[in-house]
Structure 1
């Protein structure tokens, strides 16, 4: 009808459908004389149980007197919504048939809220699960049996609420997805046409005549998204809403709140343009690039260089500056050719009203090998505060805004011509805490961080992965598995760096809270248990391990860490401490007396030198400096190169031209960068043969070689990078004389648990190892596999061997995270502690003794309990309970059967 306001709700498919604009353009064109308006409230990982527009912190209620947007009903009323189009059910179907009942109840409640008094409701079913193009992704088609039940439930519930139901599941002929789950980018037009056809809208010419309208719709949606789902929500409506960044207190310097208030006017103007374009009365309005403020005063590169004080034996030179386009550098990495990629931002800390983000990745080449860049190319632009950057698989991974992107240069001209969204739904509640500090593990996992102002909810083919507040993400790109570690601020509050030692043990550093040993937190548990730190606080941003032939031998294996507050690159080393480490500080590698030197990233380059990204700014606090402080520097940036004068630099490897044998020998290189690139290159070559190739390479070695353990580790890490399990290498590594290799083997055995023949036996060996770090890794693996008895194995490890705080941390999280498996095992009788009372008590205590006792008492009286499960239940009650519980289970009236009574006795 005239002047309808149509609201969209749904998960990732709806988010991307709105971003593509195809469905909205079709509806706008069809009803152009009625001038409808469209509002998007969709959010990645939305379900009938929880909607991002409602549950994201502070959105509904605000904080400290600053009102939020209100609940769903309030938002719909304020938008004057008359029509709601909703698509949900696919994420919920991962719960299987057991979840249908709760789904029906929740969808009934949600549809009632959406209908309100007189709104029209249109319910879109999910599309079917499909087989992914990548064989390492799960085949989701087997879930369609369950999904059909959810679709049928949606149909019935929609009918109950007099809603129009659009069936996109049954008789689906087209292939819409590439990952088996989400509508592929090149299918959004077809997807929109299919929905429109179900609504009675047919367009034989598709989008041939709608190019201008599609452009205008996308522009309007961009403005709406920046208003309704803005970055820095924490500063707008959250617990930072009264700090200088949010309120401002100087004339002519707007606050973030002032600027947000300007966006509705821009949306109104964009909608007028959409309406005019739909009627053929106007052309699309193209947003103008907002000019940067004039440069602030800065010292020259030569003057800044004079103020450095490097450690004895080191020298510093400028690698690149703003003269080659490097301004406000955030992070840097190198491709296999040795070219540097630098992510630069002019958008930070926030988009201006109406601004189209245009942050860039600059590609730099040192053509003559003199340690200075002399060729600069814009590899990618149009980015929005790209705080994460890593390179592998023939392209560049970029973290920006809500998206993890993959950029590829297909024609070799140094410019990205392919851009795809790998995953989306990452939080932007605070732009200086968004996903950052990308780094590869030795086994090809991508680790990155987020701070306490961020909430991420990401749909993957394995289900929804969420990370609430501060934590660390672990992505296995080959399988698209995403795990949130340290969920809900269990560790650092604003982490900006993950680093691995040469044996895969990991640390995470905090912008305010110090250094933490990350490995014990490798289980993606939701049980909130604080992780202690091993290093004192500082302004840390970026961390790296010193390695390679150029570094002094005494420093190899030590770590360098940026402290942007003190204008220093600090240094520390680790000392073994039980299953973990303790930290000792050493003399800094680099100091500066220049206050604008702000080291924010640090990496070992291909040549073995240390590279330091200098953000070059006098503004260092996100919340306590003015939002648009005129002294914020947007025109300068430097990258410094630090070398040790007495040692040679590393030669430049030729990965692409190297033979397989040469690449394998590169795994022996002293430079970690070379080893990592060799693993990536080998992973691209006949992947199916990687396992045999690595095993043969190791078997040809003399086990008495000085670096045999190192090479065995790299061979196993190669197979992990390629996602090709090797039973033989795991066994060989578990038999190593070096506990560090055995520990890594225990980790990889857990990672490959669903693809190895005898994971339990392998972990049993590691769980009883003589070294505590190996046992720690075994417990961590037990906490991440679905084997019913894995928790028993972990418990035996802690009850039969010495333990420390790191082992206790890992064991607690293993018990909590795997509770759904071992409780089912108790109920069904497949988990039998027999006479191992110590292990049983250890599990129940870490599971929460009082809570466990209540659950066991309830289970004993449940009809669901199988006879084989009764003995274990009563053993638990006898171990945890007191006189009252013991009296109760021996009373005849307590039992539902004589079998139960006999089991109690």
Structure 2
């Protein structure tokens, strides 16, 4: 009996132990296999990554940068070298110069023979301690490094001022760390020559007389503290400091209401012009020679703004999550070529700006014919190794056939209100909404997923569809606004429309009753 029990126990132990051993062995085999697969996968990925980087370097090569001439000191009045490369860094004060261009136009007017190369890298809400970028922003290339600035004009302090007096010490410390990081990470040449910095104060806050907005009293108390902090950083590091806080506060207090800003802190076109005068006068210690508003000035400014828009597609390429972020595909050839073309297009506009500033004639529009070709990737549709739900041959049903082929729940009816065969402007709609007059508004973006370098400027639209006789069929369409770039949404507000115009939010309003903004 004993031997039988022991034998039974041995068998029992084996029975209980066997599943565990099997699972253990299976897991060991699985982990080994998985490790092998992952090793192969990451080996392939690394090889593809290396291949991708090699290709990128072919399209966007790092040209040798021999030692640059020594810069004049960062001391007012500022002097520039011929061909000096100037970058704007900072918050919305600088970023909105992309829209209006008065300060840069003044630079070229003052120094027509210097042929200055100016690029704006500012971003809304940027702080010395906070620079938000999409994932892998520099995976293809770093636009700031590719530009290679000699001088950085820095606009910080406005957003940081919301921290109040308690944030002053941290702001000064972070500003110095930021300057050190830029100097170390972005030298002027291959021998490591340090760039030059010019520090600009924040502007004052304009009292708006709008009860829903701040009155500016406390805001200006804080902004004055942060303007003084910028001055202290500049003094400590022997850098030029441009104080526009005091002058802007005087300007903003001359008349009540929003004369120079759109909300108290963001400049309008008129405000950008006046602040440009102030900066120019402070930096160069003399009145600007620019004839603001003259035909020649406005022509030069139009070229400056066009160049700024082209450059914006470089340092803030619209669909960044697709270009270099989480949705970046294995297509490594398309976007490096786009970066290269965009930078050549910006250089074409530089030449036009210099020629205009020097009194030479230029073409009515920039000639981009020599800026290179783009890569056209082949579609993966129809690839035999892919599984698709689409039919072998795509055929889009005409509206009448679509209605006839549609199965509807009981009590429902499907009617055609409008389609692009009758109203071509409504192609590729992304959002619709009805206004309080019963009209249907559409946001349409044929530019999606983004503008292609070399194409005409984006003309995505807000379109109004009207049923005049109430029969449920659209009778007319009106383009409310057609200078949008991928308008992903809109909402009616305050007698107008808030619309996303990548990368901005616009307020559009019909002020004369013609159904156009």
TM-score by structure 1 length?
A: 0.42
The 3 A distance-change label for structure 1 pair 369 and 287 is farther
1:256 offset after TM fit, Å?
A: 4.1
Do 1:216 and 1:284's aligned partners in 2 also have CA atoms closer than 8 Å? no
Pairwise mapping of residues 83-232 of structure 1 onto structure 2 (< 5 A)?
83-115=151-183, 117-171=193-247, 172-175=249-252, 176-200=260-284, 201-203=286-288, 205-208=291-294, 209-232=296-319
What CA deviation, in whole Å up to 9, does each residue of 1:426-469 have, x standing for no partner?
A: xxxxxxxxxxxxxxxxxxxxxxxxxxxxxxxxxxxxxxxxxxxx
What CA deviation, in whole Å up to 9, does each residue of 1:470-492 have, x standing for no partner?
A: xxxxxxxxxxxxxxxxxxxxxxx
The 3 A distance-change label for structure 1 pair 400 and 76 is closer
The 3 A distance-change label for structure 1 pair 191 and 280 is same
Q: Look at both structures and tell me which one has the larger radius of gyration over its CA atoms.
A: 2
1:342 maps to 2:421:
no
1:89 offset after TM fit, Å?
A: 0.4
State how far apart, in whole Å, the 2-side matches of 1:133 and 1:56 are: 37
Which residue of structure 2 lines up, in the alignment, with residue 283 of structure 1?
Answer: 362
State how far apart, in whole Å, the 2-side matches of 1:336 and 1:264 are: 46
Residue 514 of structure 2: which of 413, 418, 437 is its match? 413
Do 1:212 and 1:283's aligned partners in 2 also have CA atoms closer than 8 Å? no
State how far apart, in whole Å, the 1-side matches of 2:217 and 2:454 are: 42
State how far apart, in whole Å, the 2-side matches of 1:261 and 1:330 are: 30
Which residue of structure 1 lines up, in the alignment, with residue 256 of structure 2?
Answer: none
SS of equivalent to 1:274: helix
What CA deviation, in whole Å up to 9, does each residue of 1:65-93 have, x standing for no partner?
A: xx442xxxxx6553221111111001111
Do 1:124 and 1:168's aligned partners in 2 also have CA atoms closer than 8 Å? yes
Pairwise mapping of residues 285-300 of structure 1 onto structure 2 (< 5 A)?
285-286=364-365, 298-300=396-398
Aligned Cα RMSD in Å?
Answer: 2.3
Q: Unpaired segments of 5 or more residues in structure 2?
A: 1-80, 185-192, 253-259, 370-375, 377-393
What CA deviation, in whole Å up to 9, does each residue of 1:842-895 have, x standing for no partner?
A: xxxxxxxxxxxxxxxxxxxxxxxxxxxxxxxxxxxxxxxxxxxxxxxxxxxxxx
What CA deviation, in whole Å up to 9, does each residue of 1:204-223 have, x standing for no partner?
A: 63342411110101111111
SS of equivalent to 2:416: strand
What CA deviation, in whole Å up to 9, does each residue of 1:751-789 have, x standing for no partner?
A: xxxxxxxxxxxxxxxxxxxxxxxxxxxxxxxxxxxxxxx
1:50 offset after TM fit, Å?
A: 2.1
| Alignment length (residue pairs) | 392
Residue 423 of structure 2: which of 324, 330, 336 is its match? 324
Do 2:499 and 2:505's aligned partners in 1 also have CA atoms closer than 8 Å? yes
Do 2:348 and 2:367's aligned partners in 1 also have CA atoms closer than 8 Å? no
Do 1:409 and 1:415's aligned partners in 2 also have CA atoms closer than 8 Å? yes
Which residue of structure 2 lines up, in the alignment, with residue 23 of structure 1?
Answer: 103
Which residue of structure 1 lines up, in the alignment, with residue 352 of structure 2?
Answer: 273
Residue 137 of structure 2: which of 33, 40, 59 is its match? 59
State how far apart, in whole Å, the 2-side matches of 1:80 and 1:181 are: 31
State how far apart, in whole Å, the 1-side matches of 2:181 and 2:246 are: 27
Q: Unpaired segments of 5 or more residues in structure 1?
A: 70-74, 248-253, 417-905
What CA deviation, in whole Å up to 9, does each residue of 1:167-206 have, x standing for no partner?
A: 1112432123342222233311111111111122523633
What CA deviation, in whole Å up to 9, does each residue of 1:83-121 have, x standing for no partner?
A: 111110011110011111111111122233445644222
State how far apart, in whole Å, the 1-side matches of 2:144 and 2:243 are: 25
- Structure 1 or 2: more strand by fraction: 1
Pairwise mapping of residues 496-645 of structure 1 onto structure 2 (< 5 A)?
none
Which residue of structure 2 lines up, in the alignment, with residue 404 of structure 1?
Answer: 505
State how far apart, in whole Å, the 1-side matches of 2:321 and 2:359 are: 42
- Structure 1 or 2: more helix by fraction: 2
State how far apart, in whole Å, the 2-side matches of 1:297 and 1:268 are: 44
SS of equivalent to 1:319: coil
1:298 offset after TM fit, Å?
A: 3.7
> Which structure exhibits the higher relative contact order, with contacts defined as CA atoms closer than 8 Å and separated by 6 or more residues?
2
State how far apart, in whole Å, the 1-side matches of 2:153 and 2:175 are: 14
State how far apart, in whole Å, the 1-side matches of 2:126 and 2:481 are: 31
Which residue of structure 2 lines up, in the alignment, with residue 841 of structure 1?
Answer: none
State how far apart, in whole Å, the 1-side matches of 2:497 and 2:314 are: 29
